[in-house]
Amino acid sequence: MIKVSIIGSTGYAGIELVRLLNSHPQVSISHLISHSHVGKAVSDLYPNFRHVTDKICNPLDVHAISKDSDIVFTSLPHGKSDTIVQFLHKEGIKVIDLSADYRYQKVSTYENWYNRKHENPHLLKEAVYGLPEIYRNEIKNANIVGNPGCYGTAAILGLAPLVASKLIDQNSIIVDAKSGATGAGKSLSQGLHFCELSETMRAYKIASHRHTSEIEEILSLCSNEDIKLSFTPHLMPLKRGILCTMYANLEDSFDFNYIYDVYTNFYAKEAFIEIYNDNIIPEPKFVNGSNSCHIGFVVDERLNRIIVVSVIDNLIKGASGQAIQNMNIMFGIDETMGLDMPGWYL
């Protein structure tokens, strides 16, 4: 059994880790760490765990965690994982960090976009970006994995085949993304009150959202060219789910079937990627509750432009499910273990 601990276990991403790992046949949960709910049973905080687990939330004690953990998931706000990851790494414990702290190869990119100095820039050289469909071989031998952001996952998976195959003008990319409210985390905010969120939609952080840099860095590596793109996120009146619509000018008059073959070859044998045919476009309800990413596209022949739509569950493929997928790869077990479930649809 893989002994697992979760730091930040009672936030939305953290509690999804608890839910999914509790049913994982190769996992034993050692510690649940919560700053806000020390001494409380997880089933008291989230009644869906009644008659499932009454595990108690503990305060952070990295020494205790390191004694009986094979891997630790850190599900904390950015800037809060630095010293924890450093200590666990020194103790030989594998870490999957769900914040942005270990997603970047270039420390300058992280520091510029997150407006803080990275405490352990040397560890960025060891950390692997945890998108299995692109970095599976590197993840296999990683000791630190920077789990991708939800917007990053949806956008990169939607665009990677196009940039890698040089099918699009790399300076023409526009990413229009929409997320459910859980993407903003559990912290209270007026903009997330029911009356502020219901029956409306809201664009935010236009031309300044931090995930822009994450998307640009990984797509640039896929393309071997410096890519800059326009990214606009929106908040939807939904609990969960991401719908990402991406636009780019084609470099030539490629038809649908040609591009479809590019996508299916790029993602051949990927268990969690579904490419739609016949101009069918996926919706968030097709994937919510699953670790899947569904991708559809349309070729606009009039403008010689492609419009790609990708959808994921922001809490699963966009966070906790992907983290577990990475863990499975790191320990050499079936990548789909604990994650092989369809979306809820309703």
Residues 6+ away with beta carbon under 8 Å from 294:
273, 274, 276, 282, 286, 287, 310, 311
Please give the DSSP secondary-structure letter assigned to residue 148.
Answer: P
**Residue-by-residue DSSP string for 181-238:** GGGG-SS--GGGSHHHHTT--EE-STTT-THHHHHHHHHHHHHTS----EEEEEE-SS
Please list the alpha-helical segments (H only) found in 40-175: 42-45, 62-67, 82-90, 107-114, 132-140, 150-164
Beta bridge partners of 28: 3
Which one-letter amino acid corresponds to residue 45?
A: L
CA atoms in the 13 A half-sphere facing the CB of 215: 31
Please give the DSSP secondary-structure letter assigned to residue 128.
Answer: E
What are the backbone angles phi and psi of residue 6, rounded to the nearest 5°?
Answer: -125, 120
- Per DSSP bridges, beta strands 174-179 and 242-249 are antiparallel
CA–CA dist 115, 101 (Å, integer): 12
CA–CA dist 331, 219 (Å, integer): 27
Residues designated catalytic? 150
CA–CA dist 101, 201 (Å, integer): 29
